[in-house]
Amino acid sequence: MRSLLVLNGPNINRLGLREPEVYGHRTLEDLVSELQQWGNENHILVNCFQSNHEGELIDQIHQAEGKYLGIIINPGAFTHYSYAIRDAIASISLPVIEVHISNVYQREEFRHHSVVAPVCQGQIAGLGFIGYRLALEAMIHGVDAK
């Protein structure tokens, strides 16, 4: 069975509690459940991993080569300054799509710049959990690797 890796960075584990006016009331567990259901409907195994630690996310990116169809990543705050995650993405041949639950361009100025976007195939922001589904659909329908 084909499989995808979904990575979520810092504070995504606080969904449902953190700034519900921005992120809503649904939890990371709700997101994982929906992703796995969407995957099952499309005969895709969806493996999810969340960490507040940059190195753990980098390890997951490195280990994905040869195991997954691609990666969907919400790097959280690492989006804006983690050149290490950017370089990890650049070092693999898998397609990667960056996803953000909120519209980062309607928020604070520092959130308007992504250091990982230039090494991703695309970016989806501001569509809530549906953004992950759209990224999953893009992967299923053959987003090309870099």
Catalytic residue positions, numbered: 23, 100
How far is Cα 126 from Cα 4, in angstroms, rounded to an integer? 22
**Residue 51 CB contacts under 8 Å (≥ 6 apart), including other chains:** 7, 8, 9, 10, 57, 60
Amino acid identity of 82?
S
> How many angstroms separate the Cα of 57 from the Cα of each of 19, 21, 48, 89?
23, 27, 11, 10
